[in-house]
């Protein structure tokens, strides 16, 4: 079968869904930024 790579993202055309699955931007839909402060 065809393997999805970051070079060839898919999705995000018209009403097919949100974002671009298989790219570096696709991970943004599943992550949340968190601030962490550590003393060393």
pTM: 0.29
Give me the sign of the Cα torsion angle 4, 5, 7, 13: positive
- The pLDDT score that the predictor gives to residue 30 is 76
- The pLDDT score that the predictor gives to residue 39 is 92
pLDDT in tens, the chain (40 residues): 566 666 666 665 555 555 566 556 667 777 888 999 999 8
**Contact status, residue 25 vs residue 17, Cβ threshold 8 Å:** no
């Amino acid at each position: 079968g065809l393997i999805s790579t970051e070079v060839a993202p898919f999705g995000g055309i018209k009403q097919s869904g949100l974002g671009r699955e298989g790219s570096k931007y696709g991970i943004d839909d599943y992550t949340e930024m968190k601030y962490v402060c550590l003393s060393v």
